[in-house]
Structure 1
């Protein structure tokens, strides 16, 4: 058989594996090994490429550290305090708890940098509260799934780190560029939640009490400090994103260790009790964790990093093989053939959207970003702006079936079946698409804060 026949057979075979639910890492790995044999490429090249990713990718060290940060703030109780603050600010509006869930997603994302961690943490905490508060369980789960999309846009962002590594762009500038688009995504989804809940009469209202807002703000001070620490350090250039990740992990560990004995001295008060019933000491500290819990927390974070890191490495090799096959030239010629600035930009966005429907954001970024970014730059799209456009589109893929990773995560933590989430996901999807188009048409939304970062 000819090489083209073998390439077709192997590609169809791994596609079948993917449809059966075989992990994406294995699917890409099988394809890479099969293509290496067909093209006569020695497997030692694959091993060398994998090694280079892990030994030369200093920026990638931030990825496991930010994953660990998300787990630490969840275990310590900081995430619960952030959600309490969001609810005290928005609970007086119809759908306030839903909007608070979305606001809490934004705050959590500003520390963790992960979409799945954001969805899982906020969904597991607030879904039961929303159901008790009279919200439809499908809407509640869909809200957690949609809110998690900002996890990779609001800095720090794991996927921004990968994008900057691949395209040799300053990760700190990418982080800063994601602030305004990420905030726009949160507010757009809040507007959707308000409209849906107003129409259906969902949610119990609470009075807007500035004393409660103040107390919950004080209670969330550790979360705000962690967010400020990351953004201040990166925004002012005091430390790199990788250093910021290390500093934040250290901060969270210190908070966990120091808070626990104080929390126990107060009799381990319930974190579920209303803030109005707590003494000042109770909302100044979080429940924390013991040194003996750190290994289990770290192990969970390592498991997630252990899934992502090999996927990055094998996708880089896949990108190299696609280059040998001429796939980059084919896609590049197709996109360039669309015409000028806007034609190239919207064609690239369409490709990212379709790819996000069937692949996770990481392989989408690793495979397509090195192809599309240079083409966009050649027609005048600023590289950092295109990075934001690309990754906002990739984030939307988290709630687009049939893949929709956040839909699976939300289904898992809430117990609501996957297909029952889709009805209430659609309005959020359209709001995010509207933000995506606005961000693509107004470059200043991505770039206006960058000069201050330098």
Structure 2
């Protein structure tokens, strides 16, 4: 048989493995090993490629630190305070708790940088509250899944770190470029939630109380400080993304260890709404003990242990694809589409389709080095294309059949995967609409960058 036939058979075999539940890491690894034998690539070459990822991956050090940050703010109670604030602001609207869940996802993402952590944390906290509040359980679970998509767009972002590492782009600028598109994704999903809940009459309304908003804002001050610390450090250039991650982890550990004994002395109930707490108990979160810290770090390490090998094996897969001529084939196909908009929309279609069957990391590692140079060659700004690419990759988190966030939401809420799809589809429409707006309006991703409109105004350069 020809090499092409063997590659096809290997691809079909690993596809069957994937459908039977084999982890994506092993599926890609089996494909790489099988195809390496077929095309004559030595296995030590594959091993060296895996090792090079770690040797050259200083920028990737931010990844485990931001994952740890997400676990720390969840364990310390900061995430719940952010959720209480979002509900106080939005609970007076129809579907206010659903909208608050999405807003809370955006706030959580601005500290953690992880989509699955965002979905798991907000889903486990607010899904029971939404069901008790009269929302359909399928819609509640789908809301958590959709809200988690902003986890890799709103800075800090794990996938922006990977993209910047691969394409040799400044990660700080990528972070800043993701702020406005991430906010638009949140607004788009909140609009979808409002429409769905209004049509179905879901949710109990609460009175808009400025005092309640103020008290919950005070209660969430540590979360706002952490968000501001990350954005200020990166935007001003005081921190590299890796340093910002380290500073945030240190801040969260200090806060958690200091607040726990104070909270115990006050005898505060962590489940009591922030709006009913005294001023002192509001500004002191639940925290955690020193003996519990190793378990938190271990849980974060488990997630890192899944993601980092996936990055390495995806880089090896990219090398095999290059040897098979896939880079040239895809490149010729996209280039043959024509000019600026043809290349842009073709690239978006490829990212969307690939995101339906692969996680965002392999999608980014395999396709970004192929599509980004072509996009730049037709005049698309590299930072703008990075945002377009990664917003598309984030949409894949709620796109079946893969839809990682759908599986995460199903796991933490107990709602079967296929029952989520109806309402996830409605959020998918909102996200795709935002995606096209971001693609067609470069200013949305470049406004906050040096030389952009807002930056010029703030610096006095805009007159």
TM-score computed with the length of structure 1 as normaliser: 0.98
Offset of residue 240 of structure 1: 0.4
Offset of residue 277 of structure 1: 2.3
Offset of residue 8 of structure 1: 2.2
Provide the residue aligned with 2:210 in structure 1.
210
Provide the residue aligned with 1:100 in structure 2.
100
Q: 2-side partners of 1:91 and 1:320: how far apart?
A: 51
Q: 2-side partners of 1:260 and 1:24: how far apart?
A: 39
Provide the residue aligned with 1:404 in structure 2.
403
Q: Are 1:4 and 2:7 counterparts? A: no
Provide the residue aligned with 1:224 in structure 2.
224
Provide the residue aligned with 2:342 in structure 1.
343
Q: Are 1:443 and 2:442 counterparts? A: yes
Provide the residue aligned with 2:88 in structure 1.
88
Provide the residue aligned with 1:313 in structure 2.
312
Which string of whole-angstrom CA distances, capped at 9 and with x for unpartnered residues, describes residues 272-313 of structure 1?
223332111110101100111111101110000000000100
RMSD: 1.1
Residues 38-117 of structure 1 correspond to what in structure 2 (within 5 A)?
A: 38-117=38-117
Q: Are 1:359 and 2:358 counterparts? A: yes
Offset of residue 337 of structure 1: 0.8
Which string of whole-angstrom CA distances, capped at 9 and with x for unpartnered residues, describes residues 185-233 of structure 1?
0011111111111111111111111111111001000000000000000
Unaligned runs of 5+ in 2: none
Unaligned runs of 5+ in 1: none
My pick for the range that moved more, 198-207 or 215-224, is 198-207
Q: Are 1:260 and 2:247 counterparts? A: no
Q: 2-side partners of 1:15 and 1:353: how far apart?
A: 19
Q: 2-side partners of 1:193 and 1:86: how far apart?
A: 14
Which string of whole-angstrom CA distances, capped at 9 and with x for unpartnered residues, describes residues 286-345 of structure 1?
110011111110111000000000010011011111111110000000011111100000
Provide the residue aligned with 1:387 in structure 2.
386
Provide the residue aligned with 2:247 in structure 1.
247
Provide the residue aligned with 2:22 in structure 1.
22
Provide the residue aligned with 2:125 in structure 1.
125
Three-state SS of the structure 2 residue aligned to 1:246 is helix
Which string of whole-angstrom CA distances, capped at 9 and with x for unpartnered residues, describes residues 36-68 of structure 1?
222222211111111111111100000010000
Offset of residue 448 of structure 1: 1.3
Offset of residue 3 of structure 1: 2.4
Q: 1-side partners of 2:17 and 2:104: how far apart?
A: 37
Provide the residue aligned with 1:174 in structure 2.
174
Total equivalences in the alignment? 453
TM-score computed with the length of structure 2 as normaliser: 0.96
Provide the residue aligned with 1:416 in structure 2.
415
My pick for the range that moved more, 420-429 or 73-82, is 420-429
Q: 1-side partners of 2:157 and 2:275: how far apart?
A: 35
Offset of residue 153 of structure 1: 0.4
Provide the residue aligned with 2:282 in structure 1.
283
Which string of whole-angstrom CA distances, capped at 9 and with x for unpartnered residues, describes residues 324-373 of structure 1?
11100000000111111000000000010011111111111111111111
Residues 145-184 of structure 1 correspond to what in structure 2 (within 5 A)?
A: 145-184=145-184
My pick for the range that moved more, 5-14 or 226-235, is 5-14
Q: 1-side partners of 2:275 and 2:181: how far apart?
A: 35
Offset of residue 33 of structure 1: 1.2
Offset of residue 433 of structure 1: 0.4
